[in-house]
Structure 1
Amino acid sequence: MTNDILVVGAISAETQAAVIGVVKDLEKAFNAHDPIALSEQFAQEASWTNAVGTRLDGREAIAEFSGPAMKTFLRDSYARYDVVKLLELAPGLIALNVQQTPTNRSGSPVEGPRGVTTYVIAQQRDGWKIVVGQNSAVNAPPAG
């Protein structure tokens, strides 16, 4: 997977694997509709703006919003998160660009809203965590 990722800066293979792992764990939690596992990918004092523009401040707020959302309007939603760029901002601070593709429960792409996300992931006492995130809904590219 890292062969298709643009890496800017001297990001070690170990750090690349760790921050990509955060995104993959976030994807697993989203697809399992597990708001606690999803929120655990964020730092305690994270700031997250979701695809509809709602800003959530802190891990607890992210979990509180995600629980009901995953039981209602997101209950049949699944996605694949592909990291496309890593940018070293400073030692222990990495920005990532991620493309989100809607999938079915089995992971096959389906029609539906797509997303592009920017995450800033920082090394914390409890591992690498998302400290800032912005999710934006985008239209699918035209066929043909």
Structure 2
Amino acid sequence: MTSDILVVGTISPETQAAVTGVVKGLEKAFNAKDPVALGEQYTQHASWTNARGTRLDGREAIAEFSAPAMKSFLRDSFARYDVVKMLEIAPDVIAVNVVQTPTDSTGTPVDGPRGATLYVIAEQADGWHIAAGQNMAVAPQAV
């Protein structure tokens, strides 16, 4: 793990890697405009509130909502998701702060709204997934 991540609690390197992998999987799915892969990062009964304040409950609802958004207003939006903090809530439950930086399709940072996201990522029988989260838009900053 990079030293840029503040880790609070006893979180093993393996768990840190797994949790970061979920965030990077979400980033990859968003940038590929793949709502199914995006939905797979969430637990079956996840609760997610997007940057517009819409709460979505369940993996299927998250994927269904994301599909038309990715084809319309998010079509030309790309981002980098950087984990900045992990907080151990319980042995298999980690709160994760993520900074979202807008990029172009090649990953180069661009001007635009940023995001500050909080995920609760929990280990499930089939691996680590987002159980709950909320995204907040942050005013654009010059690159």
Q: TM-score range by the shorter chain?
A: over 0.9
The number of equivalent residue pairs is 143
List per-residue Cα deviations over 1:47-101 (Å, max 9, x = no partner).
0000000000000000100000000000000000000000000010000000000
List per-residue Cα deviations over 1:85-126 (Å, max 9, x = no partner).
000000100000000000000000001110000000000011
SS at match of 2:3: helix
Letter in 2 for 1:139: A
Shift, 1:2, TM fit: 2.3
SS at match of 1:56: strand
Q: Which runs of 5+ in 2 are unaligned?
A: none
Q: Which runs of 5+ in 1 are unaligned?
A: none
Shift, 1:3, TM fit: 1.3
Give me the TM-score of the superposition, normalised by structure 1: 0.97
Aligned to 1:86: 86
State the superposition RMSD in angstroms.
Answer: 1.1
Alpha-carbon distance in 1 for matches of 2:136, 2:102:
14
Aligned to 1:108: 108
1:1-144 correspondence to structure 2 within 5 Å: 2-141=2-141
- Percent sequence identity is 73
SS at match of 1:122: strand
Letter in 2 for 1:12: S
Runs (4+) of structure 1 exceeding 2 A deviation are 140-143
Alpha-carbon distance in 1 for matches of 2:31, 2:109:
13
